[in-house]
């Protein structure tokens, strides 16, 4: 009996510290729960196509959302995601929760507005006021967080050796963002090597009236402006190198790029 209890306790302790469990074939591979290395909310409400833990990662297809297109575009077969993200937003779960809560509040407010509109004891102005007040939080949250980046992955070309020269000469990133409801994510392709318009968002656009944004660029094919909100000092040296490239193209010297060599 004593031996049995010790074994059960050891199994429980191993599970609590996060030792990898056996792979279950019942877990769908096409959509995976949004997971980060420092989960603070235990939830699987956010589903994503980017699954670095997929056993078929090497052959999984990658889809991106291009400007002025309603359907997703499939990238060539020879691209694969990195085995771990370069960047993980610390507040992604909270932003997702905030989006869902405000949408739910709007739906509830619209229902209450309909009840007031059907009432014969109150004027219609009260119903319209409730409808506008219930829609305001959703509109504000959607506007402010529309460029919020949850994770960043590097794309690898399976046809080329993974040398530093190959990675730097053709460096592409997958920028993962939350959709309107906050339940799923979508991808945007960012070409770091060839994007000369990728710069820091000007200070005059980083105010309370504008959406959250730290990077912005002009997509070369559609000439559409795209913005990204990425928190600084997250991701270590890998993200510092990318930040340095963006800062260099913006004329900002924070010591993270080969500034002296560019003069």
Q: What gap in Å lies between CA 173 and CA 2, rounded to an integer?
A: 54
* DSSP E strands, 161-244: 172-178, 185-191, 199-200, 215-219, 224-228
Q: What is the pLDDT of residues 215-261, one digit of tens each?
A: 999 988 888 999 999 999 898 888 998 999 999 988 888 888 765 54
What does the pLDDT read at residue 44?
56
- Of 244, 241, 85, 89, which is closest to residue 155 (Cα–Cα)? 85
CB 216 within 8 A of CB 149: no
Q: Which long-range contacts (CB under 8 A, 24 or more apart) does 208-212 make?
A: 211/143, 211/144, 211/145, 211/146, 211/147, 212/144, 212/145, 212/147, 212/148
Q: What gap in Å lies between CA 82 and CA 44, rounded to an integer?
A: 22
Q: What is the pLDDT of residues 160-219, one digit of tens each?
A: 888 888 888 889 999 999 999 998 999 999 999 888 899 999 988 888 889 999 999 998
pLDDT band of 88, cuts 50, 70, 90: very high
Residue 148: φ, ψ to 5°: -70, 125
What does the pLDDT read at residue 120?
80
Please compute the mean of the pLDDT values over residues 24-43 and round it to a whole number: 45
Q: What gap in Å lies between CA 153 and CA 141, rounded to an integer?
A: 25
pLDDT band of 35, cuts 50, 70, 90: low
Backbone torsion region of residue 123, taken as left when φ is above 0, otherwise alpha when ψ lies between -120 and 50, otherwise beta: beta
Q: What is the pLDDT of residues 90-145, one digit of tens each?
A: 889 999 999 999 999 999 999 999 998 888 888 889 999 999 999 999 999 999 99
Q: Residue 171's CB: how many other CB atoms inside 10 A?
A: 18
- Of 224, 154, 162, which is closest to residue 187 (Cα–Cα)? 154
Is the pTM of the predicted complex or chain greater than 0.85? no
What does the pLDDT read at residue 94?
92
CB 76 within 8 A of CB 232: no
Q: What is the mean pLDDT of the chain?
A: 81
Q: What gap in Å lies between CA 43 and CA 93, rounded to an integer?
A: 8
Q: What gap in Å lies between CA 215 and CA 202, rounded to an integer?
A: 9
| Terminal C-alpha separation, the chain | 75
What does the pLDDT read at residue 259?
55
What are the residue ranges spanned by the domains of the chain? 44-89+148-250, 94-143
Which has the minimum average pLDDT: 15-29, 32-46, 47-61, 162-176? 15-29
Residue whose entry in the numeric block shows the structure tokens 């670095």: 52
């Amino acid at each position: 009996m004593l031996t049995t209890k010790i074994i059960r306790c050891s199994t429980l302790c191993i599970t609590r510290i996060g030792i990898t469990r056996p792979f279950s074939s019942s877990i769908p591979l096409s959509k995976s729960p949004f997971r980060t290395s420092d989960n603070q909310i235990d939830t699987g409400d956010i589903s994503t196509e980017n699954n670095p833990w997929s056993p078929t990662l090497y052959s999984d297809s990658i889809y991106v959302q291009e400007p002025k297109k309603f359907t997703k575009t499939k990238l060539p077969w020879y691209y694969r995601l990195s085995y771990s993200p370069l960047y993980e937003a610390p507040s992604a779960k909270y932003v997702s929760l905030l989006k869902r809560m405000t949408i739910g509040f709007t739906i509830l407010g619209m229902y209450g507005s309909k009840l007031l509109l059907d009432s014969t004891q109150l004027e219609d102005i009260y119903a319209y006021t409730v409808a506008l007040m219930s829609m305001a939080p959703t509109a504000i949250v959607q506007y402010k967080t529309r460029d919020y980046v949850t994770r960043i992955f590097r794309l690898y070309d399976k046809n080329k050796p993974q040398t530093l020269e190959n990675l730097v000469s053709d460096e592409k990133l997958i920028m993962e963002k939350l959709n309107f409801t906050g339940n799923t994510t979508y991808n945007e392709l960012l070409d770091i090597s060839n994007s000369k318009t990728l710069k820091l968002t000007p200070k005059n656009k980083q105010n309370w009236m504008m959406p959250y944004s730290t990077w912005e660029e002009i997509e070369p094919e559609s000439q559409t402006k795209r913005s990204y909100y990425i928190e600084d000092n997250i991701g270590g040296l890998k993200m510092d190198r990318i930040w340095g490239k963006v800062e260099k193209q913006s004329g900002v010297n924070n010591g993270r790029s080969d500034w002296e060599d560019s003069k």
